[in-house]
């Protein structure tokens, strides 16, 4: 068991596995299926956006930048709400956070595009893209945590304090 304050958390929150119980093969396969389904949808969504907004020559890769920054924001909001509101939903986090958003955002494409800008002798643009993606992604993740926590507090207040857990 892991501990957060006075509260015991399951060893694997998606499978409800404690230190004393091992997940069954069926539970593991179902979690893998949730990740795969989310990944297929998230990767397809990113591919569609990359095709709709291609990088102009050796210009700034806006599609990947926006996808990664938006993904950082949404991931933070989603995780706060899943943990705070729906922790008992066994396959929600694997589907949304790991599968969909994990494949929607893309570290590898970001690095490939930085490499391509360096090879095209666009060092300033490569540095700007690298740095701005990192700073904007961290800022978006922080903003997502704030938005998620505010939404969780509003949901808790609306439920009269008896609804979703207030901590995140």
Q: Number of helices and strands (H, E) in the chain?
A: 6, 2
Question: Which residues form the domain of 80?
Answer: 2-158
Residue 167 lies in a domain: no
Residue 139 lies in a domain: yes
Residue 164 lies in a domain: no
> Nearest CA to 61 among 5, 25, 109?
109
Per-residue pLDDT of the chain (168 residues; tens, 9 = 90+): 444 555 554 445 555 555 555 667 788 888 899 999 999 999 999 999 989 988 877 889 999 999 999 999 999 999 999 888 876 677 888 999 999 999 999 889 999 999 999 999 999 999 999 999 999 999 999 999 999 999 999 988 887 765 555 444
- How many folded domains does the chain comprise? 1
Residue 114 lies in a domain: yes
Residue 63 lies in a domain: yes
Residue 166 lies in a domain: no
Residue 95 lies in a domain: yes
Buried b (16+ CB within 10 A) or exposed e, 119-138: eeebeebbeebbeebeebbe
Element (DSSP H or E) covering residue 8: strand 7-9
Residue 88 lies in a domain: yes
């Amino acid at each position: 068991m892991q501990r957060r304050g006075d509260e015991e958390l399951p060893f694997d929150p998606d499978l409800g596995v404690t230190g004393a119980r091992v997940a069954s093969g069926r539970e593991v396969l179902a979690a893998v299926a949730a990740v795969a389904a989310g990944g297929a949808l998230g990767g397809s969504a990113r591919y569609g956006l990359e095709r709709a907004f291609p990088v102009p020559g050796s210009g700034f890769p806006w599609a990947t930048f926006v996808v990664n920054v938006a993904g950082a924001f949404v991931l933070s909001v989603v995780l706060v709400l899943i943990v705070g509101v729906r922790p008992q939903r066994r396959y929600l986090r694997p589907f949304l956070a790991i599968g969909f958003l994990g494949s929607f955002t893309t570290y590898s494409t970001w690095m490939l595009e930085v490499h391509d800008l360096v090879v095209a002798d666009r060092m300033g643009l490569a540095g700007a893209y690298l740095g701005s993606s990192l700073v904007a992604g961290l800022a978006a993740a922080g903003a997502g945590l704030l938005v998620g926590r505010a939404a969780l507090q509003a949901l808790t207040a609306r439920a009269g304090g008896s609804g979703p857990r207030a901590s995140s």
